[in-house]
Structure 1
Amino acid sequence: MSGLILTTRDSAGPPIDMTGVLPDRLIEGGREALAGLMLVRGRERHRLDALFALQDGGPSGGLVLQPGDAVLDGVGSGMTAGELRVEGECGAYAGSAMRGGVLTVEGNCGAFAAAGMAGGSLRVLGDAGDFLGAPLAGGTRGMSGGSVVVMGNAGDRVGERMRRGLIAVHGRVGGLCGARMIAGTIVVGAGCGPGAGQAMRRGSILLRRAPEAVTPGFVDGGMNDWLFLDLMRKELIDGGAWPSGFPTAGTRARRLIGDRTAGGIGEVLIVSEA
């Protein structure tokens, strides 16, 4: 089955809610089912083919979005299979509640990317906003599976309440990275703001350098060899998730354990040169 390329007809105006615009719908109902999908833009509802020009192309059974200057919210929200690529930037909630498939954003994305994600893969070639991999607004469950790779920077509260999966940010992240984290792995390539691991119960946060201020409730476990780092490095390099500034060999890391004030035994590992 041929894929489809969706190009925004009019970039001016309020954000477009892209909920339901998924490869699943194309595979199950064909081009007609996708073209007739009703989308919300501002206070109005429009057929998808009134907002986007459709043409064959892209990956087989997949979708390519060309937003121009339009803001697309909810891209890939609830995605379960297939491939979706954004040739540009997108708004909030990219890949939220995602359960499968591959979503690629070639520019930046807004807040709540991968929020409530349970599976699949999200790759952002630019920056991500606040609440990456955190709970959906009003929710209590953060990311519980899948993988997220951000080639640029990310905002505050990356991986808040994270339960499982991988978040790798090649650049810098803001404050409260891994706050209230329950399990999973967060890798940060270029430093993070204050409050890393606050109220963390379990899980691992890997940093290239110590956070600006070590969160109270963490104790210093000293510098040690961690053999699992070799296995993790190989896996993450293969997936493009090992930040370029991280050492390419060695198992040395300084381990901070906490958050003891929350009864936590999570870890912040500051990865050392070989």
Structure 2
Amino acid sequence: MTGLVLTAREAGGPPIDLTGVLPERLADGGVAALPVIRGRERVRLDELFELRDGGPSGTLILRPNGAVLDNVGAGMAAGEIVVEGHCGDNAGAGMRGGALLIEGDCGAFAAAEMAGGRLRVAGAAGDFLGAPLAGSPRGMRGGSVFVGRAGDRAGERMRRGLIAVQGDVGGWCGARMIAGSIVVGGEAGAGLGSAMRRGSILLARDPAEPTPGFADGGEHELLFLELMRRDLMAAGAWPMEFPPAGIRARRLIGDRTVGGLGELLVLSYT
């Protein structure tokens, strides 16, 4: 059994909500009749997409062709989705397993409340990467996310898991973070680690706008850095601005304004 290729029939128009269009549904048959929502209308999947067999077994390949696709991979538990282009909001939200590869950019709330699996975005992710969905107190709680750049509030209320950003992130990265790891290869905006309780944020350089409430704990040799480097290099996600070897980092501890014991680790080349 092969995978399935979905090519959007029309560019533009209202966003298409692909909730429930997942690789684990391919074995059920009847995929063409799956209901999806576009704007205020509920229509069959094959009315909006051309469907054909293709790709490895258990793989769903999406070709947006200029259409905006929301909720791609939301709630996915197994299999693989490849987006050959950009997609909209909520990509990989609530993922529990499997892999989602986006070859372009994605919108807001990617990997929101993610619990497992792997999300890779070749381009930029919008605001609230790995954060809570609207009205929820819990952010990302498992899995791995690799993106080129990210907007504001990446990793907000994060509880577990890994977010690795090759380039810049916006403001309030790691705000109210509870646990987990965030890697930032470029610049970080204001509010970095604000109100974080625990967890680690790895940086290539000192924050341009330091957040009050962090105390300088001096330089340390941290063995876990070698393990993280090895894993991220194997995944092709170790930022180019990070040192290629060594386990030394300057440790900033906080946010002390909330009694936090999180850490900002500025990696050193020495």
Normalising to structure 2: TM-score of the pair? Answer: 0.98
- C-alpha displacement at 1:158, in angstroms? 0.5
- C-alpha displacement at 1:26, in angstroms? 0.8
Counterpart residue identity of residue 7, structure 2: T
Q: In percent, how many aligned pairs have the same letter? A: 68
Counterpart residue identity of residue 122, structure 2: L
Task: Show the counterpart of 1:41.
Answer: 38
1:8 aligns with 2:5: no
The size of the alignment, in residue pairs, is: 270
- C-alpha displacement at 1:225, in angstroms? 1.6
Following the alignment from structure 1 to structure 2, what is the Cα–Cα distance between the partners of residues 82 and 228? 30
1:260 aligns with 2:256: yes
Counterpart residue identity of residue 257, structure 1: I
1:131 aligns with 2:111: no
| Corresponding residue SS for 1:220 | strand
| Corresponding residue SS for 2:161 | strand
**Paired residues of 1:59 and 1:83 also in contact (CA < 8 A):** no
1:58 aligns with 2:55: yes
- C-alpha displacement at 1:241, in angstroms? 2.1
Q: Please give the per-residue CA displacement for 1:209-237, whole angstroms capped at 9, x wherever unaligned.
A: 11122111110011222222112111111
1:148 aligns with 2:145: yes
Aligned equivalent of 1:115, options 92, 112, 117: 112
**Paired residues of 2:9 and 2:65 also in contact (CA < 8 A):** no
RMSD: 0.8
Following the alignment from structure 1 to structure 2, what is the Cα–Cα distance between the partners of residues 205 and 143? 15
Q: Please give the per-residue CA displacement for 1:70-126, whole angstroms capped at 9, x wherever unaligned.
A: 000000000000010000000000000000000000000000000010000000001
1:69 aligns with 2:66: yes
Aligned equivalent of 1:199, options 175, 192, 195: 195
Counterpart residue identity of residue 169, structure 1: V
Following the alignment from structure 1 to structure 2, what is the Cα–Cα distance between the partners of residues 164 and 202? 10
Larger mean CA deviation between 231-240 and 136-145 belongs to 231-240
- C-alpha displacement at 1:137, in angstroms? 1.3
- C-alpha displacement at 1:242, in angstroms? 1.0
1:79 aligns with 2:71: no
Normalising to structure 1: TM-score of the pair? Answer: 0.97
Q: List, as ranges, runs of 4+ consecutive aligned residues in structure 1 with deviation greater than 4 Å.
A: none
1:97 aligns with 2:97: no
Counterpart residue identity of residue 187, structure 1: V
Following the alignment from structure 1 to structure 2, what is the Cα–Cα distance between the partners of residues 137 and 59? 35
Aligned equivalent of 1:249, options 236, 245, 248: 245
Q: Please give the per-residue CA displacement for 1:181-224, whole angstroms capped at 9, x wherever unaligned.
A: 00000000011001111000000000001112211111001122
